Amino acid sequence: MAKIKIVSNGKLDKNGLKKIAKSFLLIIGAAAIGWLGDSVGFIDYGSSETLVATMLPFIVNTLRVWLGKYESK
């Protein structure tokens, strides 16, 4: 059975910081893809710009997991 490490409120361990940094980089990458697509004229958001900007990190993360290698425990 795997050990479970409990981290108390208000504290982060190294693994938690890595997850936060990874999600931050993912959001920045998704925003850059959206901005570049809009700047080049490849994507026309129209009136749904807010919705697309909210969902873009989720879509990029889903594609990253779907197309990349990952390990499930």
Residue 36 in any domain: the answer is: yes
Q: What is the 3-state secondary structure (H, E, C) of 33-65?
A: HHHHHHHHCCCCCHHHHHHHHHHHHHHHHHHHH
Residue 33 half-sphere exposure toward CB, CA atoms < 13 A: 15
* pLDDT, tens only, 18-61: 887 888 888 888 888 888 888 888 877 777 777 877 888 888 87
pTM greater than 0.75 (yes/no): no
Residue 49 in any domain: the answer is: yes
Residue 31 in any domain: the answer is: yes
Domain residue limits at 45: 23-67
Residue 11 in any domain: the answer is: no
